[in-house]
Amino acid sequence: MSKKYKQADLALGGAVRNKKPLGQRIWNSRGYYLMFLPVFIFVIIMYYWPMLGVRYSFYSYKLKNIHWVGLENFQIMFAKAEFWSALRNTLIISIAKLLINTFAAVIISVFLNEMGNIIAKKAFQTVIYLPHFMSYAVVAAIFTLFLSNSSTGFINETLKEWGVISTSIDFLHSTKMWRPIFYLINMWKETGWGTVIFLATLAGINPEIYEAADIDGATRLQKIWYVTVPELANTIIIVLILNIAKVLNIFEPVFVLYNSRVYDVADVISTYIYRQTFLQFIPDYGYTTAVGLFKSVVGGILMLLSNFASKKVRGRGII
């Protein structure tokens, strides 16, 4: 064996001999583990402990009347028109919200990238980022006040003053208007924050590409269409893929804005579970657990599909 390999072998042996026992290494790093402990406990309690309740989806669980029913809860679920309506609304609202917010973020990112005035650019970014840090409850209160059909409704009163309408419009109680209003409110709240990832992508574009386009006589719009947009395409696809896995998880944005008059167009899986659990005189916890289990299984499948698509597009998965 050469001298070089002998030295390497000795070094490796020394490293193995000097390796401390696991318990001692944990004790030496106890400060880090103590900082991690609250997060670990939170995850166990909030995400893993509830999994033990999955068994109730096979029971009829009405207060003290608890008995095994097998797959009956799932049969009832699939037979209910309310469930299918909630599932359809979940897919429509979540996918539409994702597409609208993503492409609005792309447009605003391109606009910001083209702004030459740095002060104006920073000011505009600050303004559009702020809504993201507001809770949905506050956002709902603001827009409910603006869209109210009472004398406090700013939009209705303004339209009356301008002679556009003669009677107030009940915006948030209209099945035709609820979804468009919901999309606009969500776009206002989340689009600004969504521009962060696209602006980061734009910052990484090689300036020489734009210089070459200038030499070829390209206009600003041509540079946007033939240089900027293609550079963003991969990021757009990744953002869409990563968010597809979460389409069934929508709750709070809908919950704070909807009401019984728009259940047909606004009730989603999570709000449906909430209503069946807390707004029934004698709730069947077994049935709502079955609906929750269905949502979790479908969400898991979507996560795996998103992970597979992510590996195909960017070479690595999301899990």
CA distance 161 to 129: 32
Residue keyed to tokens 């318990």: 23
* 170, 150 Cβ separation under 8 angstroms: no
Is residue 124, in this structure, part of any structural domain at all? yes
Is residue 49 domain-shared with residue 137, that is, in the same domain?
A: no
Q: What is the pLDDT of residues 153-182, one digit of tens each?
A: 888 888 888 888 888 888 889 999 999 999
Residue 187 belongs to domain spanning: 80-314
Is residue 107 domain-shared with residue 230, that is, in the same domain?
A: yes
pLDDT of 224 > 70? The answer is: yes
Is residue 73, in this structure, part of any structural domain at all? no
Is residue 319, in this structure, part of any structural domain at all? no
User: Exposed/middle/buried for 42, CB within 10 Å: 0-12, 13-18, 19+?
Assistant: exposed
Is residue 58 domain-shared with residue 104, that is, in the same domain?
A: no
* 247, 94 Cβ separation under 8 angstroms: yes
Q: What is the pLDDT of residues 29-85, one digit of tens each?
A: 888 889 988 988 998 888 778 778 888 889 888 877 788 888 999 999 999 999 999
What's the pTM value of the predicted model, to 2 decimals?
Answer: 0.81
Is residue 262, in this structure, part of any structural domain at all? yes
Is residue 171 domain-shared with residue 292, that is, in the same domain?
A: yes
pLDDT at 312: 77
Six-digit token string for 4 = 């070089």
Is residue 75, in this structure, part of any structural domain at all? no
Six-digit token string for 89 = 């609304």
Residue finishing a domain among 68, 93, 122: 68
pLDDT at 9: 52
Short-list 169, 153, 171, 143, CA closest to 256 = 143
CA distance 293 to 281: 23
Count the domains in the chain.
Answer: 2
Is residue 153, in this structure, part of any structural domain at all? yes
Is residue 13 domain-shared with residue 63, that is, in the same domain?
A: yes
Residue keyed to tokens 């506050």: 138
- What sign results for the dihedral spanned by CA atoms 128, 132, 138, 144? positive
Is residue 107 domain-shared with residue 245, that is, in the same domain?
A: yes
Is residue 31 domain-shared with residue 106, that is, in the same domain?
A: no
Is residue 287, in this structure, part of any structural domain at all? yes
E strand or H helix at 66, and its extent?
A: strand 65-68
Is residue 101 domain-shared with residue 137, that is, in the same domain?
A: yes
